[in-house]
Amino acid sequence: MDMHDLTGALQQENDSKIVMLVADGLGGLPQEPGGRTELETAFTPNLDELAARGVCGGSIPVKPGISPGSGPGHLGLFGYDPLKYVIGRGALEATGIGFELQGNDVAVRCNFCTLDAEGNISDRRAGRIPSEQSVPLAVRLRDVAVEGVELFVEPVKEHRFVVVFRGEGLGGNVADTDPQRTGVPPLAPQANDSASQRTADVAAEFSRQAVQLLADQPAANGLTMRGFAPKPALPTYQEVYGLRAAAVAVYPMYKGLARLVGMDVIGEAQTLEQQVQVLREHWQRYDFFFLHFKYTDSTGEDGDFDAKVKETARFDTAIPDIMALKPDVTIVTGDHSTPAMWKAHSWHPVPTLLVADYCRTDACQSFGETECNRGGLGQFEAKYLMPLALANAGRLTKYGA
């Protein structure tokens, strides 16, 4: 029995509201040993007040020591075991550019490459061709037609684009065609199981026509295909939690991840203020809201400690307007840590707080990594956050008599 079997069996409806505020990459590191992290440096009176009123702890995104990408990071927060549910690379790339995958799609990450006169790869990334040049080429590939299959070609950036094959009987288990070295031609698409043979055939035909269409392009006259993947089969929030769930995000990746678990993506917000406004406007229509804030991660990736401090403080300013809606359960967390000193996603537990009437508060008086170490939630795997939210919302009955 896994957690979704439990929450599925024990769920009960009421009119409570749950808000999950995700500051991407929230956790950090001090600039020198014994110093303060970005979150501990930032002026966050509103988050501190929530920490004092609620219960705190450290969220382990996947398992100790594992630094997650955005996909597994968010799946964990959404309560989907990130080791059980895997979003294939192609599907994640399509999701990240806002492509809405359907159940009979196979998505593929493609690279433009340079082929020499013999058809061997001379540059696996087509000289990292700038987007201004590559986007029109990707669009040109929309002229490819393969019988019985709908094709979608979407630019990403530089040498990268996505192809989606839509049709019946397309398995997702096809090997990469990138040989990972130069001086040899791209590999022919090989199906790893019989259910994927047709996909391999479609991919081969797509490639053949694409090379014809690119013949006049000296820099980008070929392509390789990687990460063939179907839409991941994820049960929905409605099924596993009984929640009508909505996502308020600015970036396509997070909208897409939310859609994959059955959330409605609401509003067209471009700023944090607009996100809060969207939350307010849709307050009556949903039980659960996921609000995503990107800039704590991007500044961390840039290695810009001061900028991350500033974005953290900016995130804090949105709290009063959100709390004015009187959610029954409020969670503030991140999908992983992105310490500016590390300049990348990391494995460190993410500072997390939960506020609800019956949350059993702890000794934490402010919101930060060190303070969370003595929190009443202890350290826990992110996938347990949703069951805790449901319990605090009174949405789970007793297990067993």
303 is an interface residue for a second copy by CB under 8 A: no
92 is an interface residue for a second copy by CB under 8 A: yes
Q: Which residue of 250, 262, 348, 366 would you call a contact of a second copy, by CB under 8 A?
A: 348
Cα angle 324, 325, 330 (rounded to 5 degrees) comes to: 95
326 is an interface residue for a second copy by CB under 8 A: no
Q: Which residue of 13, 71, 323, 333 would you call a contact of a second copy, by CB under 8 A?
A: 71
388 is an interface residue for a second copy by CB under 8 A: yes
Q: Which residue of 228, 362, 366, 367 would you call a contact of a second copy, by CB under 8 A?
A: 362
- CA–CA gap between residue 156 and residue 36 (Å, rounded): 37
83 is an interface residue for a second copy by CB under 8 A: yes
Residue 289 and residue 274 in contact, taking contact as beta carbons nearer than 8 Å = no
Residue 346 and residue 337 in contact, taking contact as beta carbons nearer than 8 Å = yes
Q: Residue 301 Cβ, how far from a second copy at the closest point, in Å? A: 12
Residue 234's closest CA among 267, 255, 263, 254? Answer: 263
- What is the DSSP track for 88-109? -HHHHHHHHTT----TTEEEEE
Q: Residue 18 Cβ, how far from a second copy at the closest point, in Å? A: 12
**Contacting residues for 109 by C-beta, under 8 A, at least 6 apart:** 89, 90, 93, 156, 160, 162, 225, 226, 227
296 is an interface residue for a second copy by CB under 8 A: no
DSSP letter (8 states) at residue 396: B
Cα 62 to Cα 59, 81, 124, 152: the distances in Å are 9, 8, 32, 33
Q: Where are the alpha helices (DSSP H) in 124-245?
A: 131-140, 197-213, 237-241
379 is an interface residue for a second copy by CB under 8 A: yes
9 is an interface residue for a second copy by CB under 8 A: no
Q: Residue 373 Cβ, how far from a second copy at the closest point, in Å? A: 5
- Compare residues 71 and 189 and give the one whose CB is closer to a second copy: 71
230 is an interface residue for a second copy by CB under 8 A: no
Q: At what angle do helices 385-392 and 3-10 cross, to 10 degrees?
A: 20
255 is an interface residue for a second copy by CB under 8 A: no
The three-state DSSP-derived secondary structure of 148-178 is CCEEEEEEEECCEEEEEEECCCCCCCECCCC
Q: Residue 232 Cβ, how far from a second copy at the closest point, in Å? A: 11
390 is an interface residue for a second copy by CB under 8 A: yes
Q: Residue 274 Cβ, how far from a second copy at the closest point, in Å? A: 27
107 is an interface residue for a second copy by CB under 8 A: no
Q: Which long-range contacts (CB under 8 A, 24 or more apart) does 235-240 make?
A: 235/4, 235/261, 235/262, 236/261, 236/262, 237/78, 237/261, 237/262, 237/263, 237/288, 238/262, 239/8, 240/4, 240/7, 240/8, 240/79
- Compare residues 79 and 222 and give the one whose CB is closer to a second copy: 79
Interface with a second copy (CB under 8 A), residue total: 69
Q: Residue 250 Cβ, how far from a second copy at the closest point, in Å? A: 19
- Compare residues 108 and 389 and give the one whose CB is closer to a second copy: 389
297 is an interface residue for a second copy by CB under 8 A: no
Q: Residue 333 Cβ, how far from a second copy at the closest point, in Å? A: 14
**Contacting residues for 177 by C-beta, under 8 A, at least 6 apart:** 186, 187, 188, 189, 203, 207, 224, 225, 226
State the burial class of residue 388 (Cβ atoms within 10 Å of its Cβ: 0-12, 13-18, 19+).
buried
- Compare residues 198 and 383 and give the one whose CB is closer to a second copy: 383
331 is an interface residue for a second copy by CB under 8 A: no
Beta pairing partners, 22? 292, 333
341 is an interface residue for a second copy by CB under 8 A: yes
Q: Which residue of 53, 140, 244, 282 would you call a contact of a second copy, by CB under 8 A?
A: 53
347 is an interface residue for a second copy by CB under 8 A: yes
97 is an interface residue for a second copy by CB under 8 A: no
**Residues at the site binding a second copy, with contacts judged by CB under 8 A:** 1, 3, 6, 10, 29-30, 33-34, 37, 53, 58, 62-73, 82-84, 86-87, 89, 92-93, 339, 341-342, 344-349, 358, 360-363, 369-370, 373-380, 384, 386-392, 396-401
